[in-house]
Amino acid sequence: MTKGTKLIELYDTTLRDGTQGEHITLSVQDKLLIAEKLDEFGMDFIEGGWPSSNPKDEEFFSKAQNLNLRHAKLCSFGSTARLASAVDTDPNLVGLVRSETPVITIFGKTWNAHSKKGLGISDEENAELIFKSVDFLKNEGREVIFDAEHFFDGYKSDRVFALKMLRSAVEGGASRIVLCDTNGGTLPHEVTEIVKEVLSAVSVPVGIHCHNDSDLAVANSIAAVAAGATHIQGTINGIGERCGNANLISIIPNIMLKLQGRFAFLEHLSNLTPLSNYVYEILNLPPNSKAPFVGKSAFAHKGGIHVSAVMKESSLYEHIDPALVGNRQRVLVSELSGQSNIRYKAQEIGITIPEKSEVFKKIVHNIKELEHRGYQFDGAEASFELILQQELGNFSPFFEVLETKVHIESGKDSKNVDQAILKVRVADEVELTAADGDGPVNALDKALRKALSRFYPEIRAIRLVDYKVRVLEEKRGTSAKVRVLIETSNGRTTWGTVGVSTNIIEASLQALQDSINYHLFLSKAAVPVS
């Protein structure tokens, strides 16, 4: 495939095939919001669901008529009719017509094992079923896309039968033939060979629809395009049944940036990462940090040698410029860090350190020692910045916790009570306070805020948004160390802090103290109020 070739069509089935994945649920409103975002991004087709299969999809198509889609064509999805003799009264086909979408996608059997054993019909009857179903929808004024279900398995089982079913769909009026690797077991070289064969056998554009059961859905989709397919079906973030569908988030940049492929409406590839995160947010799922192109770790560098290289020339360890897909380069600080990591992070924070400063060596040594003890700064960059600023003499803690007592009471005849008592020193004053909470850590958090609020009222603006505990050295059982990672927000930004101890309360207190200290340090107005 070279620059200047035919446009590649993007067909998104997140709202239909994607919702068949485990733990994936979308309301009608969710689907409407995602449809608008997909259109805004530049999709050619948006498959909204199977209207005759459930009330939710019927409601979606009814409300979708009010969407002001600028580019994308909305598609409804269903199967061929049950009986060739009753196509015009088939509930599925009638439901598709009632959805009022300009495009209808139907699937039919192209593996003779399914038509003979599943439907119990002959080859000729199956071909007639496909022809009449497509013809009926075409005569209703709709553009029809034919999804050849189980095509690759069917082609390998009986090539003549599989191609005959495709021709029946074309004769019925299908505008595109989409080859489906429904079981997800086909290899890229097989896709290449079979797509080329199909292109020589049919007169309409050919598309690809892959599942990820062999972890090859993206590779197979790209292989199909390289072989001449001009229509790709997939989902955002690869969600879908079993192991998922082909991930459009990975397919799109590979085609644009590696194959110089073109899409009709997709102009701003920098919207790729925001789109991926938006769909995760609507699904109420955490983004995949390891996702290629858009993941938080996709352009994260940890090894000192790597960091030293990317600071000189990013392409030495990055296959593309992260900004092209709306992502950014990140440098992590860990036991693998070198001076380049520290220098990079300092520059990112806005701190200039002399080239030959001994600070670099001290911080690298300190970080490696802390990580050896179980600390992790990948998700706790605020704790790292405090270490850096303290080493530079720019920061010292705004308070000191002198004593901590946590009381936990539970039992059949007693109330469940969790209480924390803290003695905290701020400047020359000592504050003794107590607070109840939903669990000991919550009580600790409340007590610490209560003790400090008189001195630093600005801490009332921050809140804990995430709390994670990781057991280290699991084989030591209840005596093992734990690492606590806390994420805090002030409503505008978030930051992560870390604590490590054999005592979960102590580890949590460390992370909480760093969290508040970081907020006070950033506020620039952290002067105790008397």
What mean pLDDT do residues 117-121 have? 78
Q: What is the DSSP letter of 527?
A: -
What is the distance between the alpha carbons of residues 145 and 151, in angstroms, rounded to a whole number? Answer: 15
> How many C-beta neighbours within 10 Å does residue 31 have?
25
Find tokens 């996709």 and name the residue.
Answer: 298
Contacts of 325 (CB under 8 A, 6+ apart): 253, 269, 270, 272, 273, 293, 294
pLDDT at position 342 is 67
pLDDT greater than 80 at residue 418: yes
Helices 28-41 and 272-283: crossing angle, nearest 10°?
Answer: 180
pLDDT at site 362 = 78
Among 81-90, 284-293, 355-364, 466-475, the minimum mean pLDDT is found in: 355-364
pLDDT digits (tens, 9 = 90+) for 447-500: 999 999 999 999 999 998 888 888 886 566 667 788 898 989 988 888 989 999
**218: phi then psi, degrees, rounded to nearest 5:** -70, -45
CA distance 12 to 419: 52
pLDDT of residue 332: 60
Q: Which of 284, 304, 287 is nearest to 296 (CA)?
A: 287
Residue type for 86, please? A
Q: How sure is the predictor about 120, in pLDDT bands with cuts at 50, 70 and 90?
A: confident
Residue 110 has pLDDT above 90, yes or no: yes
Where does 336-399 show beta strands of DSSP type E?
A: none
Q: What is residue 334's predicted lDDT score, i.e. its pLDDT? A: 52
pLDDT digits (tens, 9 = 90+) for 66-77: 999 999 999 999
Question: In terms of CATH, what superfamily is 400-523?
Answer: Alpha-isopropylmalate synthase LeuA, regulatory domain (3.30.160.270)
Q: Encoding tokens for residue 416?
A: 């469940």
What average pLDDT does this structure show over 257-274?
Answer: 90
Q: Name the H helices within 140-269.
A: 151-157, 159-172, 188-199, 217-227, 248-253
Instruction: Give CA–CA dist 46/27, Å, rounded.
Output: 16
pLDDT at position 473, please?
67
Q: Measured in whole angstroms, how far is the alpha carbon of residue 39 from the centre of its chain? A: 19
- How confident is the model over 307-331, as a mean pLDDT? 74
Nearest C-alpha neighbor of 15 from the set 1, 5, 29: 29
Most confident of 53-57, 189-193, 310-314, 412-416: 189-193
Q: Residue 310 above 70 pLDDT? A: no
Are residues 190 and 161 in contact, defined by beta-carbon separation less than 8 angstroms? Answer: no
472 contacts 450 by C-beta, under 8 angstroms: no
Phi, psi of 371 (to 5 degrees): -70, -30
Label each residue of 260-282 as H, E or C.
Answer: CCCECCCCCHHHHHHHHHHHHHH
Q: Who has greater pLDDT, 96 or 300? A: 96
Which residues touch 411 (CB under 8 Å, ≥6 apart)?
none
Domain 9-283 indexed as CATH 3.40.30.10:
no
Q: Distance (Å, rounded) from C-alpha 87 to C-alpha 89? A: 5
pLDDT in tens, 224-264: 999 999 999 999 999 999 999 999 999 999 999 999 999 99
Q: What is the percent of the chain with per-residue pLDDT over 70, rounded to a whole number? A: 88
Sequence length of the chain is 530
The H helix count followed by the E strand count for the chain is 17, 16
Give Cα separations from 487 to 300, 346, 492, 518 (angstroms). 19, 21, 13, 12
Amino acid found at 40: E
Q: What is the CA radius of gyration of the chain?
A: 29
Model confidence band, residue 4 (pLDDT cutoffs 50, 70, 90): very low
Region 210-228: mean pLDDT is 98
How many whole angstroms separate alpha carbon 277 and alpha carbon 272? 9
Mean pLDDT, residues 104-130 taken together = 89
Q: Provide the terminal-to-terminal Cα distance of the chain, rounded to the nearest Å.
A: 72
Residue 126: the pLDDT is: 93
Q: CA triplet 174, 176, 182: central angle to 5 degrees?
A: 105
Q: Is the dihedral of CA 194, 195, 199, 204 positive or negative?
A: positive
Could you give the C-alpha distances from 122 to 21, 36, 74, 115, 492, in angstroms and in order? 33, 43, 34, 7, 64
The per-residue DSSP string of 236-249 comes to: GGG--STT-B-BHH
Three state DSSP letters for 436-486: ECCCHHHHHHHHHHHHHHCCCHHHHHCEEEEEEEEECCHHHHHHCCEEEEE
Q: Average pLDDT, stretch 321-347?
A: 69
CB count, 10 Å around CB of 379? 18
102-130 mean pLDDT? 90
Q: In this structure, which amino acid lies at residue 178?
A: V
In terms of average pLDDT, the best of 219-233, 317-331, 395-409 is 219-233
**β-strand 9-12 against 231-234: which pairing, if any?**
parallel
What does the alpha-carbon distance between residue 296 and residue 316 come to, in Å, rounded to a whole number?
A: 19
Predicted local confidence at residue 2, as pLDDT: 47
DSSP state for residue 393 in the 8-state scheme: T
Tell me what pLDDT residue 415 has: 65
* Predicted local distance difference test score (pLDDT) of residue 344: 66
Dihedral sign for Cα atoms in the order 14, 18, 23, 29 = positive
Fold agreement between 9-283 and 400-523: no
Task: Pull the structure tokens for residue 453.
Answer: 């609020």
Q: Where are the domains positioned within the chain?
A: 9-283, 300-372, 400-523
Average pLDDT (123-136) is 96
